[in-house]
């Protein structure tokens, strides 16, 4: 399990609409929130920003195929020669009134949804069968989850019975002006040099669903701009941070290189 915990410092985030207000309202009312959107569009940064804004500790869990309910709740472990109960990140968040963020929740095993259901209705409780505890979530606890609808299939789909337990927000890539501001702020590259990268991203995203599974993320644009800020040439930075991460297919990579030549020609 990949899990991070921190009391976050404020993170740069440029709102697209009223998502910050909705998050604050959901937190105030003890309502769970589901974020939907493509990889690298800012979902995780948004949660980090809001946790800092609300002054709440944040537990982030990167969900995967082997993530089980026990990974979230906790388990007995051998510690210093003694068997002790060790809380998982979800249990810690409930005990502390923190925010627990399940990133790409659809990737987790099905027993995870059984655990989170009582936390997403009026009960707001977490059952720990191994210890016999039933924890009531205090004010301040919030469950946030995310997933990428574009990667859903028959085997990995968030059931309606789970989706309808959450408020939901759809995220997309920022408009050009906002994306230029975001990439420039995060990388230190001047806006005039960022603008062609954002135009390139627009062309590449138009190919997603045809030659590409998904378009280039804002995250990859920031990586590219950081390489350029460090002195790497445009072609090398784009190849390293955009073309190679997007595809292993030589024909697709050639097509992407042609797009680069069109934008920068």
Same domain, 166 and 185: no
Same domain, 130 and 164: yes
Same domain, 98 and 58: yes
Of 110, 140, 170, which residue is a domain's last?
Answer: 170
Same domain, 11 and 99: yes
Same domain, 159 and 198: no
Same domain, 164 and 234: no
Left (φ > 0), alpha (ψ -120 to 50) or beta: where does 24 sit? alpha
Same domain, 220 and 150: no
Of 137, 170, 203, which residue is a domain's last?
Answer: 170
Same domain, 140 and 188: no
Checking DSSP bridges between strand 99-103 and strand 142-147, what pairing results, if any? parallel
Q: How far is CA 32 from CA 4, 75, 93, 180, 201, in A?
A: 20, 25, 13, 31, 32
Confidence at residue 154, expressed as pLDDT on a 0 to 100 scale: 46
CA-to-CA distance for 39 and 218, rounded, in angstroms? Answer: 9
CATH number at residue 51: 3.40.50.300
Positions of the chain with pLDDT under 70: 1-10, 151-156, 208-211
Confidence at residue 149, expressed as pLDDT on a 0 to 100 scale: 84
Same domain, 256 and 205: yes
Structural domain for 72, as ranges: 2-170
Same domain, 18 and 112: yes
Same domain, 137 and 202: no
Picking from 186, 109, 99, 104, the residue whose alpha carbon sits closest to that of residue 155 is 109
Picking from 47, 50, 36, the residue whose alpha carbon sits closest to that of residue 171 is 36
Of 132, 152, 170, which residue is a domain's last?
Answer: 170
Domain count, the chain: 2
Same domain, 120 and 13: yes
CA-to-CA distance for 52 and 47, rounded, in angstroms? Answer: 9
CA 254, 257, 263, 265 torsion: positive or negative? negative
């Amino acid at each position: 399990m990949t899990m991070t915990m921190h009391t976050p410092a404020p993170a740069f985030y440029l709102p697209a609409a009223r998502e910050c207000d909705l998050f604050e309202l959901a937190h105030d009312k003890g309502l769970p929130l589901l974020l939907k959107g493509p990889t690298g569009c800012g979902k995780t940064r948004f949660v980090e920003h809001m946790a800092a804004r609300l002054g709440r500790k944040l537990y982030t869990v990167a969900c995967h195929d082997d993530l089980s309910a026990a990974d979230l709740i906790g388990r007995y472990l051998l510690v210093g020669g003694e068997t002790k109960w060790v809380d998982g990140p979800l249990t810690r968040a409930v005990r502390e009134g923190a925010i627990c963020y399940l990133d790409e929740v659809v990737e987790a095993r099905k027993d995870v949804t059984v655990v989170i259901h009582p936390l997403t209705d009026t009960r707001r409780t977490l059952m720990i069968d191994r210890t016999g505890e039933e924890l009531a979530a205090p004010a301040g606890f919030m469950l946030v989850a995310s997933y990428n609808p574009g990667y859903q299939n028959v085997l990995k789909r968030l059931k309606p019975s789970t989706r309808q337990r959450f408020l939901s927000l759809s995220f997309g890539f920022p408009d050009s002006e906002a994306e230029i501001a975001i990439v420039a702020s995060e990388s230190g590259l001047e806006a005039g040099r960022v603008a062609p990268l954002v135009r390139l991203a627009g062309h590449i995203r138009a190919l997603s669903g045809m030659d590409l599974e998904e378009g280039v993320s804002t995250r990859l644009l920031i990586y590219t701009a950081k390489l350029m800020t460090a002195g790497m040439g445009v072609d090398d930075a784009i190849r390293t941070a955009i073309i190679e991460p997007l595809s292993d297919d030589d024909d697709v990579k050639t097509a992407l290189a042609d797009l680069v030549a069109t934008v920068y020609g």
